[in-house]
Amino acid sequence: MVAADDPESFFATAPPLGDADAVAARLRDFIARNSQSSADGDRRIVCVTSGGTTVPLEQRCVRYIDNFSSGHRGAASTEYFLKAGYAVIFVHRRGSCQPYCRFLPDNSFLKFFDVDAESKVQVAESHATMVMNAIGDYCKAIDGDSLLKLPFTTIFEYLQLLKIVATSISSVGPRGMFYLAAAVSDFYVPWDSMSKHKIQSAGGPLDMRLSQVPKMLSLLRNQWAPLAFCISFKLETDSDILIQKADMALNKYKMNAVVANLLATYKEEVIIVTNKERSTIRKINRDEDLEEQMIKILSHNHLKYICGNTDGCNQSPD
Q: How far is the CB of 26 from a copy of itself (least distance, A)?
A: 16
Nearest residue (CB) to a copy of itself, 55 versus 172: 55
Nearest residue (CB) to a copy of itself, 21 versus 186: 186
Radius of gyration of the chain (CA): 21
- Footprint of a copy of itself on this chain (CB under 8 A)? 4, 54, 57-58, 60-68, 94-95, 98, 100-101, 104, 106-107, 109-110, 113, 115, 119-123, 128, 131-132, 134-136, 138, 149, 151, 183, 185-187, 197-199, 201, 204-213, 235-238, 263-264
Q: How far is the CB of 246 from a copy of itself (least distance, A)?
A: 14
The Cα 263–Cα 148 span in angstroms is 29
Nearest residue (CB) to a copy of itself, 28 versus 94: 94
Q: How far is the CB of 122 from a copy of itself (least distance, A)?
A: 6
Q: How far is the CB of 114 from a copy of itself (least distance, A)?
A: 9
Crossing angle of helices 72-83 and 290-309, rounded to 10°: 60
Nearest residue (CB) to a copy of itself, 58 versus 292: 58
C-alpha dist (Å) from residue 130 to 124, 126, 136, 142, 289: 11, 8, 10, 18, 15
Q: Is 178 helix (H, G, I), strand (E, B) or coil?
A: strand
Nearest residue (CB) to a copy of itself, 55 versus 84: 55
Nearest residue (CB) to a copy of itself, 39 versus 110: 110
Nearest residue (CB) to a copy of itself, 146 versus 299: 146
Q: How far is the CB of 267 from a copy of itself (least distance, A)?
A: 15
Q: How far is the CB of 44 from a copy of itself (least distance, A)?
A: 25
Q: How far is the CB of 294 from a copy of itself (least distance, A)?
A: 21
10 Å Cβ neighbour count for 129? 10
Return the closest-CA partner of residue 217 out of 250, 190, 244, 247. Answer: 250
Cβ pair 231, 259 in contact under 8 A: yes
Nearest residue (CB) to a copy of itself, 134 versus 313: 134
Cβ pair 258, 265 in contact under 8 A: no
Q: How far is the CB of 180 from a copy of itself (least distance, A)?
A: 16
According to DSSP, residue 149 is labeled: E
C-alpha dist (Å) from residue 118 to 108, 115, 121, 123: 23, 8, 9, 14
The Cα 130–Cα 125 span in angstroms is 10
Q: What are phi and psi of 61, to 5 degrees?
A: -70, 115
For strands 55-56 and 269-273, give the pairing. Answer: unpaired
